[in-house]
Amino acid sequence: MSAASPLRPQTNACRLAVDLSGTWLFRLGDDVGDDSGDGDWHGGIAGGIPVGVPGSWNDQVPGARDELGPAWYERRFEPPPGTFPLAGREAAIRFGSASYAASVWLNGQFLGGHEGGQLPFALDCSGALRDGENVLVVQVDGRLARDRVPPGLVPPGDTHGRVFHPDVSYDFFPFAGLHRRVELVLAPRDGIRDVRLETTADDAGALLSVRVDAADGDVTLTLDGAPIASPHRVDASALWSPASPRLHLLEVELRRDGVLADRYALRTGIRTVAVAGDQLLLNGAPVRLRGFGRHEDFAVLGRGTTPALAARDLLLMRQLGANSFRTAHYPCDEETLDIADRLGLMVIAETPAVGLYFGDDDPDGDTARRQELALGSLAELIARDRNRACVIAWSVANEPRMDYPGAAAALRELCDRARALDGSRPVSYATDLPDAAGVEAADIVFLNSYPGWYRYPGRLDVAESVLGDTLDRVYRRHGKPVILTEFGADAMPGSHADPPSMWTEEYQAELIERLLRVADRRSYVAGTHVWAFADFATAQADHRPQSVNFKGVFTRDRRPKLAARRLRELWQPADA
Ligand code: GCB
């Protein structure tokens, strides 16, 4: 099914993507499973109120902050001119992200569903789509459960001992809703199903391989308008890097009997990435990441994405001199990756597997189900992002709890699966337990460490030596490059003290500067990501004033704290 293929929708001579974002109708409601009688909303919801899509419902709908569903969405639309007859085309509805699970009906007909937020899915609707008005109904279920990824309702012993309301195992609010674009997609039935790019190093630059999965016919490739064959040699000067984020236009065409049957275009950077000894190499040269962990979070929108916010964030990163970010703790929006490609920001792409635990007191098989889900979303992430120049590494999890038999094997399985699906990028997971078994499966150690905050709180004086010792120990143990994927301190905006004390802007700026100094002195440290780019909403907890994590160097509305200014001084010039 081409319309429901992993290829991101696009509009061209053969394909059409109609954005259904905008004002939808919404209502919270019970799970109406049957097709009969009152309360059957599969053909249209009763008593809906207007909400914006993309967007979480929690901060749009008064009183719904802690409601996690199920909830119902409805959107009426007419297909564009020329849609019918479908003839050789297929139609699908594609969701960029429905958090956490969705079931979808078109004109009362069930199309299918999907489990897992922050990853796209497309459902064939060729048989249900009609001329004139169509009624699209989506049930979204954001409820927390132990057998979901990320898991909710986890025993406190497995959540760093923290208790949140709602009862999450992770440190961000469990926003629910349709968080990204929803599109009606029309594509040739016997067309291009997938395009896979891979770049390998070559003496003079790189070799670009293009694998096309398509129905019968003649496939042709052009790069920047010139015909090419795969593999294609690319000059070093044409490669993508933070200093020179060159993008090329790759066009794939499928012809039958000389007639154009399908076409797919990719704007792509070409670069190689590798780990050699204790170094991370980009295009064969050592590179150090400097940047942030970034959440998708904003007032009113919740986890809903908009290119304006992504552009603002990534431009601010560039302005500070950052060259990289991690999509913590889930895959980011595809338009954000477009911007990262264009700005030359190197991305560590993370799956939604945050807070995994492997409780052996799990009679109902929750652990096994979580692992299946984690493997599934890893495959979906790699299918979505594998052609991205900006994505330079996969993070298969964040801070899994490792104190159970089976935990190390589960993490090894995730790392091995990532490598089996894509052998061209380093694989790891962010961990606060670098001595636990499992880490040896990673190509780079992704270390989350909070000296001067959770460890030795208030002790700016010892934070440096504690981090130095930790880094050296980790490196001695694993002999691999280490990326400090999290470190930092909360700072209440506008709060000041001299000498610096915890929760002030001075303390945050001073701690970040000191820890960066420690990391930068070590040649095996391949990167530092401050936690976090901006303040973000969390569930309620005694350690989260105002239900916000204040470790952002920008406020939630993107005003700079002292630490942002300090980083701008430390990170100039912004050339690498
Ligand atoms: C961590 C987590 C991150 C939290 C952060 C914190 O280790 O990976 O999700 O937000 O610490 O601020 O506690």
Contact assessment for residue 534 and residue 551, using Cβ atoms and an 8 Å cutoff: no
Residue having the nearest C-alpha atom to atom 2 of ligand 1: 171
Distance, in Å, from the CA atom of 64 to the CA atom of 51, rounded to the nearest integer, reads 12
pLDDT tens-place values along the chain, 576 residues long: 455 677 999 999 999 999 999 999 999 987 554 444 455 899 999 989 999 999 999 999 999 999 999 999 999 999 999 999 999 999 999 999 999 999 999 999 999 999 999 999 999 999 999 999 999 999 999 999 999 999 999 887 777 788 999 999 999 999 999 999 999 999 999 999 999 999 999 988 999 999 999 999 999 999 999 999 999 999 999 999 999 999 999 999 999 999 999 999 999 999 999 999 999 999 999 999 999 999 999 999 999 999 999 999 999 999 999 999 999 999 999 999 999 999 999 999 999 999 999 886 665 689 999 999 999 999 999 999 999 999 999 999 999 999 888 999 999 999 999 999 999 999 999 999 999 999 999 999 999 999 999 999 999 999 999 999 999 999 999 999 999 999 999 999 999 999 999 999 999 999 999 999 999 999 999 999 999 999 999 999 999 999 999 999 999 999 999 999 999 999 986 554
Distance, in Å, from the CA atom of 513 to the CA atom of 509, rounded to the nearest integer, reads 6
Distance, in Å, from the CA atom of 393 to the CA atom of 533, rounded to the nearest integer, reads 19
For ligand 1, whether the C-beta of 531 sits within 6 Å is yes
Contact assessment for residue 61 and residue 51, using Cβ atoms and an 8 Å cutoff: yes
Contact assessment for residue 248 and residue 270, using Cβ atoms and an 8 Å cutoff: yes
For ligand 1, whether the C-beta of 549 sits within 6 Å is yes
Catalytic residue among 399, 505, 506, 510: 399
Residue having the nearest C-alpha atom to atom 3 of ligand 1: 171
For ligand 1, whether the C-beta of 422 sits within 6 Å is no
| Cα three-residue angle 265-383-102, rounded to 5 degrees | 105
Q: How far is the CA of 432 from the centre of ligand 1 (A)?
A: 10
**pLDDT at position 359, please?**
83
Among 187, 67, 79, which Cα is nearest to 136's?
79
Residue having the nearest C-alpha atom to atom 13 of ligand 1: 171
pLDDT in tens, 213-239: 999 999 999 999 999 999 999 999 999
Q: Residue 277 carries which side chain, given as an amino acid letter?
A: G
Q: Confirm whether 334 is a catalytic residue.
A: no
**pLDDT at position 36, please?**
42
309 phi, psi to nearest 5 deg: -70, -40
- Residue 517 structure tokens: 């100094």
Among 32, 31, 3, which Cα is nearest to 16's?
3
**DSSP 8-state secondary structure symbol assigned to residue 62:** T
Distance, in Å, from the CA atom of 86 to the CA atom of 186, rounded to the nearest integer, reads 9
**pLDDT at position 35, please?**
47
- Residue 69 structure tokens: 């569903």
Give residues with Cβ within 8 angstroms of 164, minimum separation 6: 538, 539, 540, 541, 544
Catalytic residue among 486, 505, 506, 510: 486
With the most atoms of ligand 1 within 8 angstroms of its CB, the residue from 448, 470, 483, 544 to mutate is 448
With the most atoms of ligand 1 within 8 angstroms of its CB, the residue from 171, 450, 470 to mutate is 171
Q: How far is the CA of 415 from the centre of ligand 1 (A)?
A: 22
Contact assessment for residue 532 and residue 541, using Cβ atoms and an 8 Å cutoff: no
What are the angstrom distances between the C-alpha of 376 and each of 150, 176, 405, 415?
Answer: 13, 20, 22, 13
Q: Residue 259 carries which side chain, given as an amino acid letter?
A: V
Identify the sign of the CA torsion 92, 93, 96, 99: negative
Q: How far is the CA of 208 from the centre of ligand 1 (A)?
A: 38
In this structure, the strands spanning 177-178 and 55-56 are: antiparallel
For ligand 1, whether the C-beta of 297 sits within 6 Å is no
> Using alpha carbons only, how large is the chain's radius of gyration in Å?
24
Distance, in Å, from the CA atom of 293 to the CA atom of 282, rounded to the nearest integer, reads 20
Among 427, 349, 417, which Cα is nearest to 388's?
349
For ligand 1, whether the C-beta of 448 sits within 6 Å is yes
For ligand 1, whether the C-beta of 169 sits within 6 Å is no
For ligand 1, whether the C-beta of 399 sits within 6 Å is yes
Q: How far is the CA of 398 from the centre of ligand 1 (A)?
A: 9
Contact assessment for residue 54 and residue 42, using Cβ atoms and an 8 Å cutoff: no
Helix (H, G, I), strand (E, B), or coil: what is residue 347?
Answer: strand
Q: How far is the CA of 171 from the centre of ligand 1 (A)?
A: 6
In this structure, the strands spanning 273-276 and 101-106 are: unpaired
For ligand 1, whether the C-beta of 551 sits within 6 Å is yes
Residue having the nearest C-alpha atom to atom 5 of ligand 1: 171
147 phi, psi to nearest 5 deg: -100, 25
Distance, in Å, from the CA atom of 420 to the CA atom of 141, rounded to the nearest integer, reads 32
Residue 480, classified by CB atoms within 10 Å of its CB into exposed (0-12), middle (13-18) or buried (19+), is buried
**pLDDT at position 204, please?**
83
CA of 549, closest atom in ligand 1: 12
For ligand 1, whether the C-beta of 171 sits within 6 Å is yes
Among 345, 301, 175, 174, which Cα is nearest to 556's?
301
**pLDDT at position 37, please?**
43
CA of 430, closest atom in ligand 1: 8
Q: Confirm whether 251 is a catalytic residue.
A: no
CA of 170, closest atom in ligand 1: 9
What are the angstrom distances between the C-alpha of 224 and each of 106, 155, 216, 387, 490?
Answer: 40, 55, 25, 17, 47
Contact assessment for residue 174 and residue 166, using Cβ atoms and an 8 Å cutoff: yes
CA of 448, closest atom in ligand 1: 7
Residue 286, classified by CB atoms within 10 Å of its CB into exposed (0-12), middle (13-18) or buried (19+), is middle
